[in-house]
Every structure is written in structure tokens, then in C-alpha cells.
Amino acid sequence: MSTPHPHRLGGLERLADEVVDVRFKGLPPDAAGTTAGALAAQKRNLFTGGFTTPVLAMSAERTEHNLALMEEYTRRHGLAFAPHGKTSMAPQLFDAQLRHGAWGITLAVPHQVRVARAFGVPRVFLANELVDPAALRWLAAELDADPGFTFACYADSVRGAALMDEALRAAGARRPVDVVVELGAGPGARTGARGAEECAAVADAVAEADHLRLIGVAGYEGEVPGADRDRVAAWLRALTDLAAAFDRDGRFAHLAPDETIMVTAGGSAWFDAVAEAFAGLGGLSRPVLKLLRSGAYVSHDDGLYRERTPFNRVPEEGGLRSAFTLWAQVVSRPEPGQAFLNAGRRDAAYDQHLPRPHLVRPASGGPVRPAEGLEVAKLSDQHAWLDVAEGVGLEVGDWVGMGMSHPCTIFDKWEMVPLVTEDGTVTDLIRTFF
Amino acid sequence: MSTPHPHRLGGLERLADEVVDVRFKGLPPDAAGTTAGALAAQKRNLFTGGFTTPVLAMSAERTEHNLALMEEYTRRHGLAFAPHGKTSMAPQLFDAQLRHGAWGITLAVPHQVRVARAFGVPRVFLANELVDPAALRWLAAELDADPGFTFACYADSVRGAALMDEALRAAGARRPVDVVVELGAGPGARTGARGAEECAAVADAVAEADHLRLIGVAGYEGEVPGADRDRVAAWLRALTDLAAAFDRDGRFAHLAPDETIMVTAGGSAWFDAVAEAFAGLGGLSRPVLKLLRSGAYVSHDDGLYRERTPFNRVPEEGGLRSAFTLWAQVVSRPEPGQAFLNAGRRDAAYDQHLPRPHLVRPASGGPVRPAEGLEVAKLSDQHAWLDVAEGVGLEVGDWVGMGMSHPCTIFDKWEMVPLVTEDGTVTDLIRTFF
């Protein structure tokens, strides 16, 4: 089960055939009616090729760097990798992640699983309990239609297991749904059963359910209360201990001898701790699939994850690069200390930090320069309020390139994102599905 | 120019033909492959018809109420109405607004103008300066191709006017672009020239530009610093005084005698003050088009605009109704005081207030009840953290209906929104373009 997916996903050619039209902001108006594939083939320049502001650019080189780095990182640490796809919701990036050795794709809600399956992602981990009968009906049909579809999700309550089982029975499901018991990250943390005893009760409920099959344990160390190195390590130990206890208690006895027991954790802030904790995991009755789920790495960022990336602690293992630049245009310069850009909450991530100006491209055609003396003070729906330091020569018409914080809330504001090489050439268009 | 638009917009039938697929979250998986029109014709029930959670519902009755109320309000006060379309970006709602007497649609950025034009909106007001050469090239072609297309936008700087003129010349524009000089709402406020003298300088620049034509004055009272009744009224007086001064100075002499001078303002918090200020406006050399631009009314909300609506001050003129309910499902109940819903920042508005639980639909099939004792404590990307008061019987599987704050950041998280009657029947699907 841990062989890397060797093929390109199906359906990507449908994305290349997608007609460029008013659904996609930022793209050149004079490209309307052509296809995304044809527009990419024109190799237009982002700055002179008719793209309109605001426009989000994703760096081709930096994205490739990030993909390669996490492929290498997970391989070095003996981890299977199911990057969280909710970050990008971009089948082209799912495909790149699978080609870079990922075992599968993690997702958060059933709609996202449907997107992944529409493009043939063969292995999906749903990091949530799933108790929606309509979604379970769809899932049952999808599993029964494709014996090659590998799927697992959380169970964190006895009632949840019972609801799942009931809905799958009503749907006439033939294949059981694989579940992992979710261990909560501590008192007051997010989802997940609170402690080993409750987890055992959930496992009992799963064992009793005709349409469920227990295959492992899971959790998310990112929600450990007051997370620091020691607390995260302690919780990860509890998770691996839980796997060992479940195994000792014969809870995986129904698995074939060569089937794996899944143990999974890992967001984008503590995957070094996960690697360390999972390294010691072994000696169970079955091979262990140590599944890391970090997703934000694909674009990385200039805020939350720049601060929190584990590579800050292990720089000798490499470093991620922030791949996004949001380009917006100065539309007003009403006072010496104020400028307004035509990008706001509709275009930029704003839940963690405000965007940070990096570059200025003068409308006059002068050289690109660092955005010194510029700071985003706040965002309206369609404007960024820029504080301009004394003496900074920013003019109406100039483009300002900004870094942002939090990949999940950048991707979801753009349905088609130009992939741009360092020299400004748009080489592809990344379609997202939110 | 103020005759209401009598026809349905073109292209709406294309929306009915749109295939329901994984682009649209919340819609029934078993409807995949059918069209939006066919799904609407099935008159499914939102709660039992296979829709999946989370799902945003827009009340058909409340939306219709809001449309009718503002039609009546603007007619009573002698105002032309160009509701801000950036709120919904939904051509079906633009159409409804035009059928309800709106003069045109206001928009914020050129991409939004392109969406409106793709569906044939005949009159567009762009409440921004437009200095993007690629967007101006598109605009020039659009104006020249359709003599019936009425368009105007802001100018708030001499440089902006010069950049517009230069780009229009380079584009070979034949029709001039109508502009209104934007008066800023005060020191430190958003865009807009600061005071009458600067506005006159902008007007001079417009007059000198071959490809621009001055047709009025504009601004946005919602950004008056420390806005209260007196300050807003004072600024609106400055705006109407500016129109009168421009007229006295012969700045509209190029307009035909029956052409209108445009005076425009109006968000969703002070339209009573705008109505009052504009009532006294007259005696200019040309008829005045008193254009109100409020947009949030179409859905209204349960937060920002519930607090700020002018109808709180003039209840005798009616009251807007909040049209949105976000339905999410309890997926975890890990501690007595905690529940987690499967909707988060990806689904709900969160820039003003957090969502507010209103209703609970028990998975057991019991009656819908008020969501007493439930409060959203925070949002993750895909989860809402719910505080549950002691003794409240909320269970995994239950649906929770929530009101939200800020229409602009609700609409933009949903590409196809079920329009639902009070009895739960889905009668239409509203497509948005962000």
C-alpha cells in the first residue's frame, strides 16, 4: 500500500480544456474564449501579457522546490505522505504531490473527497468523522464501484460509529469503510476522543459495526493545548502508545498479515516531532503505515508557516520557500501617507496576518524595487489600505507585490492561479475547487 | 436614463444549463451530471433531498422581501438605484434587482464589470478609479461595441485621469469614458480627493483628457471618520455642494440639456442620510441622477447590518430580513461543553462577527428547535468550535443553522447557493462569480 502512485491523475486534460472566461479573475480579458491549456502555451508574461490586477501568482520554481523537499524529507524519515489537500484543492497539485511520492491525499470534508475522486485520486484520508447520510451514500457507491479506491476516515465517538454504520447499511454498502480512532490532542482541544479509555470504547463500537473496519489511530498534534516541543512529543507518545495498546488487545487481528496498521498525525508546524515519534514505532503485529498529513508546504507562506515551519528547528534538512505573490495596483494616493490597492478581503488571506508588501513595479516602467516603507494597515472587501512612509515614491498605477500568511485562505480566493517562472512567464494555470 | 430596466438579462439560461458537479459544494451528490435548472425543477427539500453539509441556504421569501423593500424605499425618496453588485456577484440577483427598478449595478473592480457585461447588464457604475491598461482596453472595446452600454467610474487624482486617458488612447477608444470626481470622506479616509480644491483639479484634468467626460461627483459616506449622523450629513452636504459648484463653474456645460448630472453615494449603513441630503439637491443646469449604491440589503445579515441598518432609525419605512442560514453538522462532541461543526473559515463569514447558531435540527428526526445554549467560540479552516451550555442536548449528527455577519464575505464562499422557501423547498440555485 505504500508504493508511490506512478501515473498522472485522470481528468487533468479536462482542466486544460477549460474555457478562460469571466469565472476567473486576473486572467487577460483578451484571452477570453481560449482554453486554459492554450493560454498557458502562449507563455505570456504576467506583467506585460494582458493580465489584470489584482492577480495571484504562484512561483513555479518555488512550488517545485517545496514538492521535492517534502518528498525527500518524508522518504528520509520513513514516512508515508498524504498531504492535506484542503489547502490547495487543486487536482494539478494533487497530481504533482502523488508524482512526488505521496501515498495519497488527505481531505477535510466529503465534498473535497468528491473533487479528488473526480480526478481519480486513488487513496484518500478524510481527517474527520463522517456522519452525513447523503455523503455516506455517495462514498459507499464510490467504494463499491472501484475496488482500487483506498479510503479511511476518523471515528471519535460511539454515536458517530453507530450513525456511520446505520447510514452505510441503509445505502446498501458492500465494502466496509476503514476507520481510525481519533485521539484528541488534550482537554479543550479540537475533535478526538479524550484519552485511551474513550478511544477503546470507540474502537469497540467500530468492531461491532458491520460496515466499519478499524485500521489504526489518528490525531492532530497542531491542536495540543499550549503546544510546545515537550507537550507535542508527549501527545505523540500517547498516540503511538494507543496504537500499541490496540494491537496488544487484538483490535487489528482482522487485518491480513501483510495489511498495514495506520498511525497518522502531522500538520505543518510539528512534522519534525511527528517524524521523531513515529521513528520509534514498530514491533506491532502488522507493518505500520506511518502517515504524515502536512499540506501547507506546497505553497508555504510569508507569515504563519514562515514562523512555524519545523525547518526553522532543523535548517540542516532544508527550507521551504513562499510561492505566492499577490499583485495589486495602486488606484488612489489621496494623502502623502496613504495609498490604496485594488485587492482586499476578496483576494488576500487575512485570518492570520495582513499581507506584506515585498515589491513595487512602477507604472513608469522603471526597475522593480523592494517595497520599502509600505505596510498594509487594513483590508476592506476590495481595497488594501497602505501606509506609506515619508519620501516613498509610490504612484497611482504602480503594481505592488505582496506576500501573505496562511496558504489555506489564499488558495480559496482564486479559482485559476497563474503558475509563473522567475522571469515572469506564465507556464500553467492552476485550477482550484472550493 | 432613469427608466427601470424592463427585460430579463441575457445569459441567465446558460446558468440554468450549468452542470451540477464537484465545483459546487453542498449540492446533492446524486444530482451530479444534471443541470442546475433540472435540479431546481425537482423541488427537493434542503434537509431530506440529499444535500450535504455544510450548505448555505438563501431564503426565497426574505430575499424577495428585501428586493421589494428597497425598490419601494428608493422610489419613495426619488433615488435612482445601482445596488453594489460586489456583494453577491450573482447575475440572477442582478437581474432581480433590475426587475425591481434598479437603474444599474455598481461594481468594485473591472473583473466584476466583465461578469456583469457577460450577462448583459446595461448600466454599470464602477466605484473605483480604473488605471489598469489591460482592463481599459477591454472597456474601450466593450463601449465601442455596444452604444447602449452606460458606464461611469471614479477619478480621484490628476495622475489617474492622465493614466486613463493615455491607456484609452493607446486602445484606440472611440467613445469617451464617463467619470465622476470622487470626494474623499475626510482626512485619513479611504479613496477620494481631499476637498473641493483637489476635486476641481481632478475635474480640470478630466476636462483636458480627450477620452474622458465629466458627468458628476461621487463618494462613500460609509468611510466618514468617526461616522455619526452629523458628520455623515456634513460630508453629504459637501458632496452636493461640490456638484453645485462644478455646475456653477460650467463643468457640465458639455452635457446635452436633457443629460443628467450624476451625484452618487450610499452604502448600507447611512442610506437614510443620503436620501435626506439628496432630497434637497436640484436647481442645477441639468436634471440630477441621484444614485444610491447600497448592496448588502439583498441578503441583509445577522450581524454588521442588523446593527447598522438605517431601518433601525426609520422603522416606519420597513425593515430588512436576514436571508442566509448556514447549515452545518455536528461531527464531534468530545467534551460536555464542546461540539464541532463541519463548517469553518471556508464556509462562513468571519471578518466582522462569528456565526450565530439559530436552529437545531436533530438527527433523530425530532422537531427543529431554537439553538439555545450554543455559541461559536472560534473557527478553524473547516470546523466551527461550539461552546455548549450545561444540559443542552446536542448530538453528533445534528444539523445547526447559523446566521452570519457581512453579506460580502458570505456570498464569496459559495459558488452555487440553494434558494429555499420557508417550507424547505429548494426552488432555484444562485450562481456567484468571484
Predicted confidence at residue A258, as pLDDT, reads 96
Inspect the interface and report whether the beta carbons of B191 and A331 lie closer than 8 Å.
Answer: yes
Q: 3-state class of B13 per DSSP?
A: helix
CATH superfamily of B12-59+320-431: D-serine dehydratase-like domain (2.40.37.20)
Inspect the interface and report whether the beta carbons of A332 and B118 lie closer than 8 Å.
Answer: no
Decide if the complex's ipTM is over 0.90.
Answer: yes
Hey, which bits of B72-197 come out as E strands? 80-81, 105-107, 123-129, 150-155, 177-182
Probe site for chain A from B84, B89, B109, B198 (most A CB atoms < 10 A): B109
- Cβ proximity of A177 and A213 under 8 Å: yes
Asked if B397 is an interface residue toward chain A (Cβ–Cβ < 8 A), one would say yes
Asked if B351 is an interface residue toward chain A (Cβ–Cβ < 8 A), one would say yes
**Residue whose C-alpha is closest to residue B364's, from A75, A342, A311, A159:** A159
> For residue A171, what is its C-alpha cell?
445505502
CA angle (B264, B270, B273) in 5-degree steps: 75
> For residue B247, what is its C-alpha cell?
455646475
CA B434 to chain A, closest CA, distance in angstroms equals: 7
Query: How does pLDDT run across B267-311, given as a tens digit for each residue?
Result: 999 999 999 999 989 899 999 999 999 999 999 999 999 999 999
- Cβ proximity of A133 and A170 under 8 Å: yes
Q: How many CB atoms lie within 10 A of CB B361?
A: 20
* CA atoms of B283 and B297, how far apart (whole Å): 31
Predicted confidence at residue A86, as pLDDT, reads 98
Tell me the C-alpha to C-alpha distance, in Å, between residue B63 and each of B43, B60, B99, B297, B324.
18, 5, 14, 9, 9
Please state which CATH number belongs to domain A122-299. 3.20.20.10
User: Across residues A172-197, what is the average pLDDT?
Assistant: 98
Predicted confidence at residue B7, as pLDDT, reads 55
Asked if B201 is an interface residue toward chain A (Cβ–Cβ < 8 A), one would say no
* CA atoms of A423 and A60, how far apart (whole Å): 10
Query: How does pLDDT run across A163-173, given as a tens digit for each residue?
Result: 999 999 999 99
Query: How does pLDDT run across A343-373, given as a tens digit for each residue?
Result: 999 999 999 999 999 999 999 999 999 999 9
**Residue whose C-alpha is closest to residue B233's, from B196, B185, B291:** B185
User: Across residues A191-219, what is the average pLDDT?
Assistant: 98
Asked if B130 is an interface residue toward chain A (Cβ–Cβ < 8 A), one would say yes
Asked if A197 is an interface residue toward chain B (Cβ–Cβ < 8 A), one would say no
Q: Which of A159, A363, A409 sits opposite B395 (nearest CB)?
A: A159
* CA atoms of A402 and B69, how far apart (whole Å): 42
Kindly identify which residue of chain A lies nearest to residue B157, measuring between CA atoms.
A332
* CA atoms of A423 and B350, how far apart (whole Å): 37
Q: Which of B22, B115, B184 sits opposite A433 (nearest CB)?
A: B22
Q: Could you tell me what percentage of chain B is helix, strand and coil, using 3-state DSSP and rounding each to the nearest 5?
A: 30, 25, 45
Query: How does pLDDT run across A274-301, given as a tens digit for each residue?
Result: 999 999 898 999 999 999 999 999 999 9
Asked if B149 is an interface residue toward chain A (Cβ–Cβ < 8 A), one would say no
Buried b / exposed e over B163-185, threshold 16 CB at 10 Å, is bbbbbbeebebebbbbbbbbbbb
CA A262 to chain B, closest CA, distance in angstroms equals: 21
Asked if A54 is an interface residue toward chain B (Cβ–Cβ < 8 A), one would say yes
Asked if B25 is an interface residue toward chain A (Cβ–Cβ < 8 A), one would say yes
User: Sign of the CA dihedral A338, A344, A348, A354?
Assistant: positive
**Residue whose C-alpha is closest to residue A267's, from B28, B17, B411, B381:** B381
The residue ranges of every structural domain in chain B are 12-59+320-431, 122-299
* CA atoms of B334 and B396, how far apart (whole Å): 10
Query: How does pLDDT run across B337-371, given as a tens digit for each residue?
Result: 999 999 999 999 999 999 999 999 999 999 999 99
Q: Which of B52, B111, B396 sits opposite A52 (nearest CB)?
A: B111
Asked if B109 is an interface residue toward chain A (Cβ–Cβ < 8 A), one would say yes
Torsion of CA A324, A329, A333, A338, to 10 degrees: -10
Q: Which of A29, A114, A115 sits opposite B135 (nearest CB)?
A: A29
Inspect the interface and report whether the beta carbons of A135 and B111 lie closer than 8 Å.
Answer: no
Confidence of residue A1 (pLDDT cuts 50, 70, 90): very low
> For residue A402, what is its C-alpha cell?
505582496
Q: Which of A26, A134, A412 sits opposite B51 (nearest CB)?
A: A134
Kindly identify which residue of chain B lies nearest to residue A342, measuring between CA atoms.
B109
**Residue whose C-alpha is closest to residue B355's, from B365, B364, B345, B363:** B345
Asked if B285 is an interface residue toward chain A (Cβ–Cβ < 8 A), one would say no
- Cβ proximity of A334 and B184 under 8 Å: yes
**Residue whose C-alpha is closest to residue B112's, from B407, B346, B412:** B412
Q: DSSP readout, B20-49?
A: PSTTSTTS-GGGTTSBHHHHHHTT-BTTTS
Inspect the interface and report whether the beta carbons of B86 and A363 lie closer than 8 Å.
Answer: no
User: Who's near A426: CB < 8 A, 6+ residues apart?
Assistant: A39, A40, A43, A44, A45, A46, A49, A51, A418, A419, A420
Asked if B197 is an interface residue toward chain A (Cβ–Cβ < 8 A), one would say no
Probe site for chain A from B46, B115, B129, B327 (most A CB atoms < 10 A): B129
Asked if A433 is an interface residue toward chain B (Cβ–Cβ < 8 A), one would say yes
Hey, which bits of B134-190 come out as E strands? 150-155, 177-182
- A144 burial (CB, 10 Å; 0-12 / 13-18 / 19+) is middle
User: Across residues B387-416, what is the average pLDDT?
Assistant: 97
CA B278 to chain A, closest CA, distance in angstroms equals: 25
* CA atoms of A240 and A217, how far apart (whole Å): 8
* CA atoms of B74 and B24, how far apart (whole Å): 35
**Residue whose C-alpha is closest to residue B24's, from B40, B12, B47:** B40
Percent of chain A whose predicted confidence (pLDDT) is above 90: 96
- Cβ proximity of B195 and B158 under 8 Å: no
Contacts of B29 in chain A (CB under 8 A): 110, 114, 134-135, 137-138
Predicted confidence at residue B282, as pLDDT, reads 85
Q: Which of A29, A109, A129 sits opposite B134 (nearest CB)?
A: A29
Percent of chain B whose predicted confidence (pLDDT) is above 70: 98
Inspect the interface and report whether the beta carbons of B397 and A134 lie closer than 8 Å.
Answer: no
Inspect the interface and report whether the beta carbons of B23 and A50 lie closer than 8 Å.
Answer: no
CA angle (A244, A246, A249) in 5-degree steps: 105
Query: Beta strand A150-155 with B338-341: parallel, antiparallel or unpaired?
Result: unpaired
User: Across residues B147-162, what is the average pLDDT?
Assistant: 98
**Residue whose C-alpha is closest to residue B55's, from B429, B417, B406, B421:** B417
Buried b / exposed e over A39-52, threshold 16 CB at 10 Å, is bbeeebebeebbbb
- Cβ proximity of A82 and A103 under 8 Å: yes
Asked if B50 is an interface residue toward chain A (Cβ–Cβ < 8 A), one would say yes
Asked if B118 is an interface residue toward chain A (Cβ–Cβ < 8 A), one would say yes
CA B275 to chain A, closest CA, distance in angstroms equals: 24
Query: How does pLDDT run across A111-155, given as a tens digit for each residue?
Result: 999 999 999 999 999 999 999 999 999 999 999 999 999 999 999
Question: Which neighbouring-strand residues pair with A106?
Answer: A84, A125
| A201 φ/ψ angles, rounded to the nearest 5 degrees | -65, -40
- Does pLDDT of B410 surpass 60? yes
Query: Beta strand A123-129 with A105-107: parallel, antiparallel or unpaired?
Result: parallel
Hey, which bits of B192-254 come out as E strands? 212-218
Q: What is the mean pLDDT of chain B?
A: 96
Asked if B21 is an interface residue toward chain A (Cβ–Cβ < 8 A), one would say yes
Inspect the interface and report whether the beta carbons of A381 and B350 lie closer than 8 Å.
Answer: no
Q: Which of B115, B137, B157 sits opposite A396 (nearest CB)?
A: B157
Probe site for chain A from B15, B20, B22 (most A CB atoms < 10 A): B22
* CA atoms of B41 and B20, how far apart (whole Å): 13
* CA atoms of A100 and B227, how far apart (whole Å): 55
Q: DSSP readout, A327-366?
A: EEEEEEEEETTEEEES--TTTS--SSS--EEEEEE-TT--
Kindly identify which residue of chain B lies nearest to residue A198, measuring between CA atoms.
B334
CA angle (B328, B330, B333) in 5-degree steps: 155
Contacts of A25 in chain B (CB under 8 A): 109, 111, 434
Q: What pTM did the predictor assign?
A: 0.97
- Cβ proximity of A151 and A143 under 8 Å: yes
CA B256 to chain A, closest CA, distance in angstroms equals: 30
Placement of cell 476637498 in the chain:
B195
Kindly identify which residue of chain A lies nearest to residue B416, measuring between CA atoms.
A434
How many contacts (CB atoms, under 8 Å) link A and B? Answer: 207
